[in-house]
Amino acid sequence: MTTPHNLGVHGRTQAELEAVSPEFIRDGLFRAREKTISVLEEIRRMLREGMTENDARLLALTVFKSHGVTKHWHKPYIRFGSGTTLTFNEPLQAEYRLRTGDAYYLDLGPVWADADLGLEYEGDYGDTFAFGRNTEAEKCAETAHAIFREAQAAWRATKLTGEELYRLMEKRARKEGYVFVAGVEGHRVSDFPHHKYTKENLARMPFVPSESIWVLELQLNDPAGRFGAFFEDLL
């Protein structure tokens, strides 16, 4: 990890905002991430035309339960079609049903128990796809990935702060012709629950974030509101 300094927010230092349990090890978080991505792919294979977003949520909860996960730091969000322009602050679409050609995204937040370490780790991950073919939606999703990679590379190379990371991503999104969605600002992740350390968002951090305990997330929307692309992963 980078060396924390005294910059912080609301009177709290970087060291306080990036605290973890004494038993915490980074590999535990990486294993949680890998398991979450694996389950995401399993859920994707089980999605069927005609499902509602709530059907997909119930499916995700069932699949996670089959892997021993009964706790989530946030419920699964699986959105279809124009619902992909919505964020976690908005309810699922009640009536809309998945159709061939729809964009869709999964935003997952399972809590994985690590019996060896005696801790629970948050596995937060999200990604966007097309159900069938939709070249415009696929391009939007690919752009979200590319902007994420560029931001992460710039953070490593030039020690960007959280605030600078989000300014960079917003500028790149505008250049590519997409709407950069406000309020999708990244957050802490670690041993469960990360809220015991902070609820502050990465986009508001005036310091260079340490590796592997912050989630970098972004959402791009089609200017016409037809679809969006959400992506998040460990920084």
DSSP per residue over 120-183, as a string? EEE--EEEEEESS--HHHHHHHHHHHHHHHHHHHHHHHH---HHHHHHHHHHHHHHTT-EEPTT
Q: Which of 90-104, 132-146, 182-196 has the weakest average pLDDT? A: 182-196
Give the mean pLDDT of 39-59. Answer: 98
Domains defined along the chain, listed by start:
23-234 (3.90.230.10)
Give the mean pLDDT of 145-157. Answer: 98
Give the mean pLDDT of 108-118. Answer: 89
Give me the pLDDT at residue 81, please.
98
Give me the pLDDT at residue 4, please.
47
Give me the pLDDT at residue 5, please.
54
Burial class (CB in 10 A: 0-12, 13-18, 19+), 69: buried
pTM: 0.94
Query: Across the chain, what does the average pLDDT equal?
Result: 94
Give me the pLDDT at residue 216, please.
98
Nearest Cα neighbor of 230 from 222, 157, 95 is 222
